[in-house]
A and B are shown apart, each in its own frame.
Chain A
Amino acid sequence: MTALPSLRSGTVARITRTTAQIREIVVTPFIVTILVYCLLPLLFFISLFIGRYDVVPSHVILLLAAPIVNLLPADIVHIYPVWSAAEENVIWQIRLPRVIAAVLVGAGLSVAGAAYQGLFKNPLVSPDILGVASGAGFGAALAILLSWNMAMIQVSAFCFGILAVTITYMLSRFYRTTPTLILVLSGIIVGAFFTALISLTKYVADPYEKLPAITFWLMGSLAAVRYSDIVMVVPLFLLATVAILLIRWRINLLAVGDDEARALGIDTKRMAQVIILCSTLITASAVCIAGIVGWVGLVVPHLGRMLVGPDYTKLLPACLLLGACYMLIIDDLARMLTNAEIPLGILTAIIGAPFFAYLLSRRSVGWI
């Protein structure tokens, strides 16, 4: 007799827990998935309508639909150009590459940031922790100082970004103690060194022409992105992102501890090399088409962790999508807010910093 009530209450408790679990496990990710998957195409589309040059909205739709619809036989349906040549130029040659670049840069920086946070077991790490941004910044500044053309500026930025991280990695090998800590310290050393070189470049640059060019480049912008830039970075970019996504479950083990990961049969040194290589390729590519864009790689992984939890199998895809959305919004604001373009780096920090403070105040990030 006495066993019955306790059994019943146990069953009830179990059922309530299961419902709560179902809500937690199924419903939340479902909403998140829907939100994120729908948000990105929506934002992508909206971003094409936004800009200083007024394009009639119906023209935008027709312009975008034309190449696909016109594949069909002309006697069934055909879209005839009702738009001006300038409109066509703005949409296809300026806005579309710009929007594609925003998606790539946002997604890439977020994935690289999340991977680094796992590798360094530290949620305060951003993709430029190993000095890639300072290195790339110096590469670009030097190229501008030497009056190289746009393509060479990008190549120089990319190469110096890679060089900076290579130096950081060699330096950390040289000391041969606690690997991740010494990597971060080496990153600080190399970052400081290249930041000083940037200052030196600015100091000797012609103050009327080259100094502003360097300064604007360092603040980041997507205004000048062309298809050729995207084509240049896309192969490496995709390769690196896919590589990180493929090993994403194993980043969980790195995030818990190096020793434990090794005891579980993971080659942690090789994993670290792969993550550093891929993240560096992604970040250097992003920097060379968009300039230095801070905060994205720090804030978006936190947002992702709040929405889908710390498991990298879910976190990295979420970061990919959220990062792309975040960057699209930032770039839209950069175009819309004032008559002149606002540099991206300024906006990502002005919006990113208070947003980050808000995220932390929610206390649901799980590590404070």
Chain B
Amino acid sequence: MDMILDVQQAGFRYDLRRMIFSDISFSIAEEEVLCILGPNGIGKSTLIRCLANLNPLCAGSIRLHDRDIRSLNHRDVAKIVGYVPQAHEIVFPFPVREFVLMGRAPHLELFSSPGREDYAKADEAIDLVGIHKIADKPVNEISGGEYQLAMIARALAQEPEVLLLDEPTSHLDFGNQIRVLEIIDRLARDGLSVIMSSHFPDHAFLTSNNVAIMQHGSFMAYGLAEDVVTEENLKETYGVDVSITYSRDVERHVCVPHKSGQCRCRDPQHPECMTAPGVLLQAAR
């Protein structure tokens, strides 16, 4: 099967002292969704920036349709890869439509401005994520959820084959998180490949086929969501106790954190569990 994006032994560092990540290999095919989990500051965003050709790798290679990313210019990469960064403030009050229209840049010549066809593509992308009601509002006056959707629409106007999303659900309320994930899921079913980073293991069950857990500068686990998002892996990654159970109500696996001190591991080597109120109570009995 033709891989759209293929990463081999990728490594990156900002300076000589510290490697951000190394020896990361994975590939993504059509309609595939890869969710990258991992603690804060582990390099998820840096990895996604490397995939978007914003940071050059120090080791290994990234290949788009079997061509090395270093042999392509920014414009060619932008026709294949759409990048949705984390939300940041925008100073100038561009209307949402103009903002989405910027996604047409890789398809336009240096001196040209977007034409009728580009406006149509932008409107299509706006409809796809369902923000046509706010299309004329300034982008710095809409809510965080709407802004995230506007950025996704801009990446869609780019007509990419792979969508890279850097924590698309951070800063969003519960409802908007689910809405954004649903849209990502729908886009993937329509043929787009998606790579996203997330802080919520549960999101992996909601949208992804594949999950990678990033820890200690590399992928600690990589594979199907059910195989990777396990109680042991999450304990090791985040240092908290969770239960992974199959819920018949929603017909999928769910990831539920324990209330602190109610760990079920009962491991005598694990001082937090031994001093937890529940355990003490049991001991008293």
Indicate whether B74 reaches chain A with its CB closer than 8 angstroms. yes
- Which A residues are in CB contact (< 8 Å) with B83? 259-260, 263
Q: What is the interface residue range for chain B against chain A?
A: 35 or more
Residue of B nearest to A252 (CB): B102
Kindly identify, within residues 210 to 254 of chain B, every residue whose CB is under 8 Å from any CB belonging to chain A. Answer: none
Chain B 61-97: CB-based contact to A (< 8 A → 1; otherwise 0): 0000000000001111111011101001011111100
Q: In the assembled complex, how far is the CB of residue B140 from the closest CB belonging to chain A, in whole angstroms? A: 7
For the complex, is B283 an interface residue (Cβ under 8 Å from A)?
Answer: no
Inter-chain CA distance A249–B104, complex, in Å, is: 11
Interface string of A290-317 (1 = CB under 8 A from B): 0000000000000001000111010000
Contact B88 A257 (CB under 8 A): yes
Known A-B contacts A247-B111, A260-B85; A310 and B94 likewise in contact (beta carbons under 8 Å): yes
Contacts of A367 in B (CB 8 A): 91-93, 140
Among B54, B76, B82, B95, point to the contact of A309 (Cβ < 8 A). B95
Interface residue from B95, B99, B113 paired with A249 (Cβ < 8 Å): B113
Question: Does B93 lie within 8 Å of A366, measured CB to CB?
Answer: yes
In this complex, the interface size class of chain A, counting residues with CB under 8 Å from chain B, is: 20 to 34
Determine how close the nearest CB of chain B comes to the CB of A170; give it in whole angstroms.
23
Q: Which residues of A contact B138 (CB under 8 A)?
A: 366
Check A264 against B102 for contact (C-beta < 8 Å).
yes
The answer to whether B105 has its CB under 8 Å from any CB of chain A is: yes
Bound: A266/B93 CA distance, A: 21
CB distance from B90 to the nearest CB of A (A): 6
Taking the complex as formed, is B158 at the interface, i.e. its CB lies under 8 A from any CB of chain A? yes
Q: Across the interface, name the chain A residue whose C-beta is closest to B103.
A: A264
Dominant SS among interface residues on chain A: helix
Partner of B91, one of A24, A123, A248, A261: A123
CB distance A265 to B78 under 8 Å?
A: yes
Contact with B along A329-368 (1 / 0, CB 8 A): 0000000000000000000000000000000000000110
> Does any Cβ of A come within 8 Å of B106's Cβ?
yes
What is the CA–CA distance of A24 and B88 in the complex, to the nearest angstrom? Answer: 28
**B168, chain A: closest CB distance, angstroms:** 15
Residue of A nearest to B83 (CB): A263
Residue numbers in B under 8 Å from A122 (CB-CB) = 91
Provide the bound-state CA to CA distance between A122 and B92, in Å: 8
Report yes or no: B78 in contact with A366, Cβ–Cβ below 8 A. Answer: no
Q: What is the CB-to-nearest-CB distance from B243 to chain A, in angstroms, rounded to a whole number?
A: 38
Q: Which residue of B lies closest to A310 (CB)?
A: B92
Contacts of A267 in B (CB 8 A): 74
Q: What residues on A are CB-neighbors of B191 within 8 Å?
A: none
Query: Is the pair B54, A264 in contact by a Cβ cutoff of 8 Å?
Result: no
Q: Counting CB contacts under 8 A, is A58 at the interface? A: no
Interface core residue of B52, B75, B91 (most chain A CB under 10 Å): B91
- Whether, in the assembled complex, A121 has its beta carbon less than 8 Å from a beta carbon of chain B, the answer is yes
**B98 at interface (Cβ–Cβ under 8 A)?**
yes
- Taking CB atoms and an 8 Å cut-off, the chain B residues in 100-131 that contact chain A are 102-103, 105-106, 108, 110-114
Any B CB within 8 A of the CB of A109: no
- Nearest CB in chain A to that of B135: its residue: A21
Q: Which of B92, B102, B158 has the most CB of A within 10 A?
A: B92
Cβ distance A20 to chain B, nearest Cβ, rounded Å: 9
Q: Is the CB of A255 within 8 A of B112?
A: no
Binding site for B on A (CB under 8 A): 21, 24, 118, 121-123, 246-250, 252-253, 255-257, 259-267, 305, 309-311, 313, 366-367
25 CB < 8 A contacts A-B: A21-B136, A123-B91, A247-B110, A249-B108, A252-B98, A255-B94, A256-B90, A256-B102, A257-B85, A259-B85, A260-B85, A261-B105, A262-B54, A263-B82, A263-B83, A264-B103, A264-B105, A265-B74, A265-B106, A266-B105, A309-B93, A309-B94, A310-B94, A311-B94, A367-B140
Contacts A246-B110, A263-B53 known; 12 new A-B pairs at CB < 8 A: A123-B91, A249-B112, A249-B114, A250-B110, A252-B102, A259-B49, A260-B102, A263-B78, A265-B105, A309-B95, A311-B94, A367-B92
